């Protein structure tokens, strides 16, 4: 890991060769319903983004705040399979 990091002196910026994206996992039923309403108003469906199941209920939504609040709905099975 040391070879991937630069900026070892105090006050230097810590930079990494790895790119990380901040995501928020929303599992509150009221918030999921609100996201579902917004998606339907925009002409989108709320099917699971991972497996494509449109009939299963959505258990959580991953939201990427950067870049226009991209969001991915996940069913319960796919949510449990995430690392």
Report the candidate in 54, 62, 59, 61 with the shortest Cα–Cα distance to residue 76: 59
CB atoms near residue 77 (< 10 Å): 13
Q: What is the pLDDT of residue 47?
A: 87
Query: Three-class SS of residue 29?
Result: helix
**55 CA to centre of own chain:** 21
Query: Three-class SS of residue 22?
Result: coil
Q: What is the pLDDT of residue 17?
A: 65
Q: What is the pLDDT of residue 24?
A: 86
Rounded CA-CA distance 58/25 in Å is 12
The model scores a pTM over 0.85: no
Residues with Cβ < 8 Å from 50, sequence gap 6 or more? 72, 74, 75, 78, 81
| Domains in the chain: boundaries | 22-81
Q: What is the pLDDT of residue 59?
A: 92
Q: What is the pLDDT of residue 5?
A: 43
Could you list the pLDDT tens digit for every one of the 83 residues in the chain?
444 444 444 555 555 566 677 888 899 999 999 988 988 898 888 889 889 887 778 999 888 877 666 888 999 999 898 87
């Amino acid at each position: 890991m040391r070879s991937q990091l630069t900026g070892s002196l105090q006050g230097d910026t810590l930079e990494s060769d790895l790119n990380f994206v901040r995501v928020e996992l929303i599992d509150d039923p009221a918030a999921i319903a609100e996201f579902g309403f917004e998606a339907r108003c925009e002409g989108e469906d709320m099917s699971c983004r991972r497996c494509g199941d449109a009939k299963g209920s959505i258990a959580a939504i991953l939201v990427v705040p950067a870049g226009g609040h991209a969001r991915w709905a996940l069913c319960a099975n796919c949510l449990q399979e995430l690392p």
